[in-house]
Amino acid sequence: MFDFVMTEEQIDIRQEARELVKWVPRQMILDMDADNIKFPKEFLREAGRRNLFGCRYPRQWGGRDMDWVTTCMVMEEIGTLGYIFSCTFGVGAELVCDAVILHGTDEQKEKYVKPLLRGDTFAAECLTEPRGGSDFFGTTTTAEDKGDHFLINGQKRFIVGAEGADYFLVYARTDPNGEPHKSLTAFIVDRAEGVETKYLYGLLGCRGGGAGRVVFRDVKVPKQNVVGEINGAYPVFNTMMIPERLGTSAMTIGAARPALEIATRYTTRRKAFGKTINEFQGVSFQVAEAAMLLDASRAMVYATARAVDSGAEPHVIRRMVSETKKFVTESCQKVVHNAMQAMGGIGYTNVYPIERIFRDLRLATIWTGSNEIMSAVIAAEWYREFARVTEPRLARDFEADSAEAFAEDEKIYE
């Protein structure tokens, strides 16, 4: 991170996150990757005990009254342990609790946020369905109004914490005939009768997060568990996409960092043709590119975090967050690719953890909204912004600064 722009308080909390990173036993990392640990409760309890969750939330609910920049720093550090550590760290505390903090009632914060931030309970986020994740507003899980409660039926898949979570933030259709953006509601659903974890997926990487399918069959959910308004999931979803995508970006940087460190050290020790391989530009330029991409990613994450902290307009935040998620995840995949390439064959083996990082980070461009969806959001927001701003956008009309600028009969548009 760029320490010169950080406050002392931020540096202190980063140090606390690093202490947690040191605390994690090596065996826990190996056991998660081997699927011997299904969900890392021990790790999450420890994170809660150290008060590292949700540092941007008010103290009243268990946070530290800090900001998004600090949250990203913590997520980045936790990410160095492995992508799934930061994912399970973030899903409950930074995503589900974010929705409840911003849209929920005080009773919900007392009952669901406080224990989670202490590390006593765990939560999962249920958006994606077997029928698709990208077309989120096409959700088919239903919640039928039964007076004092709703009856939820449907299925969600790829849910981190399907195994392990005590409660779920579930989006379900409450108006079968309404417009897509006005017919979903967000609910807190306790793991209770009718909630079943169907099976856990065999994953390429990111193992140990309890990713599975969750089935809801006639699940009774009290009205007090509606988060936000009935048929009002849209604003909940919109704010939740900030932690979802900005948090993912920060933790992706963390997850890629060890790969660069390991490759840098290796290339200064390993010899070929009588020289250490970092003396070959073919190798050192791979490392240099990785270092550059990590710094650029960091610059983007923390600029976007600042934008969110400063209360920039929602559509600007939406574009910046999506740009950040796309740029950082693609850059960090390249970082790990370069690290492996620079190490040759040994980088492909489990003698070094680069192969695990490589497997883990493959997911980065797919989840939390695929990068194709990020491009769609960026394009939509960019053109909308362009159309909205009617006053001159630049200091002068640069289109006129060419020799034949006034050849109007050449400026044909249709």
The residues binding ligand FAD (CB under 6 A) are 91, 124-128, 132-134, 158-160, 203, 206, 211, 363, 366-370, 372-373, 376
Q: Which residues contact 22 (CB under 8 A, 6 or more apart)?
A: none
Q: Minimum distance between the CB of residue 186 and ligand FAD, rounded to whole angstroms?
A: 12
User: Whose Cβ is closer to ligand FAD: residue 48's or residue 133's?
Assistant: 133
CB of 171 to ligand FAD, least distance (A): 9
**Between 266 and 367, whose beta carbon lies closer to ligand FAD?**
367
Distance CA 233, CA 98 (A): 14
What distance in Å separates the CA atoms of residue 288 and residue 22, rounded to the nearest whole number? 27
- In the complex with ligand FAD, which residue's Cβ is closer, 124 or 219? 124
28 vs 160 by CB, closer to ligand FAD: 160
What separation, in Å, do the N-terminal and C-terminal C-alpha atoms of the chain show?
49
Rounded distance, CA 72 to CA 401, Å? 42
CB count within 10 Å of CB 43 equals: 25
Nearest one of 96, 397, 408 to 244, comparing CA atoms:
96
In degrees rounded to 5, what are phi and psi of residue 337? Answer: -60, -50
User: Whole-number minimum distance, CB 145 to ligand FAD, in Å?
Assistant: 24
Nearer to ligand FAD, 127 or 317 (CB): 127
Could you tell me which residues come within 8 angstroms of residue 322 by beta carbon, excluding any fewer than 6 positions away? 245, 369, 374, 377, 378, 381
Between the alpha carbon of residue 188 and those of residues 97, 124, 201, the distances in Å are: 10, 10, 24
Report which residue's Cβ sits closest to ligand FAD: 133
Q: Please name the residue ranges forming H helices in 154-217.
A: none
What DSSP designation does 54 have? T
Minimum distance of ligand FAD from residue 87's CB (angstroms): 8
Residue 123 C-beta: closest distance to ligand FAD, Å: 10
Nearer to ligand FAD, 181 or 306 (CB): 181
Smaller CB distance to ligand FAD: residue 64 or 356? Answer: 356
CB of 347 to ligand FAD, least distance (A): 24
Pick the closer one to ligand FAD by CB: 205 or 347: 205
Q: Is 200 exposed, middle or buried (CB count within 10 Å of its CB: 0-12, 13-18, 19+)?
A: middle
Closest to 35 in 3D by CA, of 255, 212, 203, 162 = 203
Q: Cβ 286 to ligand FAD, closest distance in Å?
A: 28
The residue (of 256 and 377) whose beta carbon lies closer to ligand FAD is 377
Rg for the chain, CA atoms, rounded: 23
Least Å distance, CB 213 to ligand FAD, is 11
What gap in Å lies between CA 372 and CA 370, rounded to an integer? Answer: 5
Task: Find the shortest distance in angstroms from Cβ 143 to ligand FAD.
Answer: 16
Residue 412 is classified by DSSP as -
Q: How far apart are CA 155 and CA 149, in angstroms?
A: 19
* Rounded Cα gap, residues 241 and 5, in angstroms: 26
Six token digits for residue 53? 């969750």
Q: Of 142 and 370, which has the nearer Cβ to ligand FAD?
A: 370
Query: C-beta of 366: minimal distance to ligand FAD in Å?
Result: 6
